[in-house]
Structure 1
Amino acid sequence: MAAPKWHTYRTAAKRVGRSERTIRYWRQWGMPMEWQVLEGQRTRVVREDVLLKHFRLHLAQSPVHQYRMRALRAAA
């Protein structure tokens, strides 16, 4: 099994196409993050699987995303 991939706020935001502020918001609302020392600086990091889980959760709860999915189903 491969080692888990860790993301800082910046790389997490790029990975899911959201802003760093959104990632901080998700952390405030329960996304577990840990501390790691990167380049001599303590930094908050999140595992990629946890990040993607939260991304899917927030996407499923988004009214805009739901409307888009309905429109795609209606067009098909």
Structure 2
Amino acid sequence: MADWDKLGKVGDAAPLKENKDNAGKSSKPKLLSAVPVSYFDGHDALKNRGGTGLSFSAYILEAVREKLERDGAL
């Protein structure tokens, strides 16, 4: 078993190594469990009349960023 322990430490001193925690990440995946259909319909209508060129996901991210800035969290 000691040999396996030694193998697990190989590369620890390497100048570049894989980071397995969330430190330093600028984003993380997140799935929304339930989005009302009316939100999709509203986004489609807005997009069809030229009000946005963003995808639904990008539109959500922009809305969250704006709300966080308005609430003083960013």
Same fold (TM over 0.5): no
Normalized per residue, which structure has more strand?
1
Normalized per residue, which structure has more helix?
1
Greater relative contact order (Cα < 8 A, sep 6+)? 1
What's the TM-score once normalised by structure 2's chain length? 0.28
- Give the structure with higher Rg (CA): 2
